[in-house]
Structure 1
Amino acid sequence: MANLYWTLVEPYWEVVSIYDGYDVFLAEFKKMPQVSQHLFATHWAQSEIRNGGIDQFFDNSTGVLAKEAVEGFKALGMLETAEILQQSMDILGTPYPQDRDERQERLSELPDPFFFEDVRFWELLDEEADGFHVAANRYASKAIN
């Protein structure tokens, strides 16, 4: 199956909101099985970053799940990908701002801080652990079998 991992994400796709703040997101997210949590967060992160870079991921509502995406990439065996995302989060400060308005304010103060991280992240999405889709499907298959 080309996107086996999606079968573990799809049931939650319309249920878990990334648009209503961190508390709402986290309450809904925690109801998911852990394997689906990891796949949900990494799917969002890789989709958003492939589309417009790390800056776009943080700037949009998707940035609410950055911490969960780091944990998800680790679970998928994509350790360098997780590290780049964590380092990028650290640029925005500690603790990482879960609030979108706060993230946007901090991003506005930084001159394109993620150029090199974007390039490496995109490469890793295709290479590390055989690439995101292979790693996600492999992780999903362990949970299903």
Structure 2
Amino acid sequence: MGHRVLGHPWRTGALPRVVCMTSVDVWSLYKTHADDRSLLSPAQRQVMAVCDWRQEVNADGFENYFRAWGGDTAEEALALLPTVLGDDWAKLLREGMDLLGSPYPIDADSRTNRIDQGQFTDALNGLDERFYALEGSTDADARLNDFVRTEAVGEWPPQNRGPERSFFGRLRRQR
């Protein structure tokens, strides 16, 4: 389940408390945790990886996904897809990953080199079409929202603001 932190963190000695929320939106969680996943559980990182995949492919297709850092999380996304969205989704991502060879290149530069050296345009376009068909026939957001509320995912940590940021996100003055 998602949560929000209440309390007065600017007061000395005040401890925030966690309040469970029944209404969780996976894209709000993604916005909060996309940049820093260090505090997330493995299941939570897998949810973020599925969001990476869906966002990048919806924006510019599989080629963009594999060229960008989002493709770094493909194996994590693949681990969760059969459970949450189904085998057709997992098969689609696996086929895309297999185009780039075995083992799957985990960094964007290696994937980009393989794409540039190969002739994948038609195959990647075919994957895009199948992906868009799945997106059109499945309420993936609802399934992911249901999943992030389960005990398997656990409590989501509050937004991680580094020590360089104050409570309201402004940079602290260096003294």
TM-score w.r.t. length of structure 1: 0.78
Deviation of 1:33 after TM superposition, in Å, equals: 1.8
- After superposition, the C-alpha distances for 1:40-96 in whole angstroms (9 at most, x for unaligned) are 001110000001111110011111111111112223132211111111101100000
Q: How does 1:40-119 map to 2 (within 5 A)?
A: 40-111=48-119, 112=121, 113-119=123-129
**Cα contact 1:54–1:118 (8 A) shared by 2:** yes
Q: Distance in 2 between matches of 1:45 and 1:3?
A: 20
- The structure 1 residue matched to 2:140, chosen from 110, 132, 136, is 132
CA–CA distance in structure 2, aligned partners of residues 50 and 10 of structure 1: 16
CA contact (8 A) 1:5 1:141 kept: no
What secondary structure does 2:85 align onto? coil
TM-score (norm 2): 0.65
Unaligned runs of 5+ in 2: 1-21, 156-175
Q: How far did residue 8 of structure 1 move?
A: 4.5
- Aligned partners of 1:14, 1:92: CA distance in 2, in Å? 26
Tell me, yes or no, if the aligned pair for 2:62 and 2:128 is still in contact at 8 Å. Answer: yes
Deviation for aligned residue 1:142: 2.3
Provide the identity percentage: 22
Which residue matches 1:23?
A: none
- Structure number, greater radius of gyration: 2
AA in 2 matched with 1:67: E
Contact 1:38/1:75, CA 8 A, preserved across alignment: no
TM-fit CA distance, 1:6: 3.7
1:48–1:102 Cα change, 3 Å: same
User: In the alignment, which of 34, 50, 53 is matched to residue 42 of structure 2?
Assistant: 34
Query: Which structure features the higher share of helix residues?
Result: 1
Alpha-carbon RMSD across the aligned residues, in angstroms, is 2.3
Question: Within the alignment, does 1:4 sit opposite 2:12 as a pair?
Answer: no
* Secondary structure in structure 2 of the residue aligned to 1:122: helix
Q: In the alignment, which of 132, 137, 145 is matched to residue 122 of structure 1?
A: 132
Unaligned runs of 5+ in 1: 17-27
Distance in 2 (CA, whole Å) between partners of 1:136 and 1:119 is 22
Question: Aligned partners of 2:134, 2:80: CA distance in 1, in Å?
Answer: 15
> Cα offset for 1:140?
1.5
Please state whether the residue corresponding to 1:114 is helix, strand or coil: helix
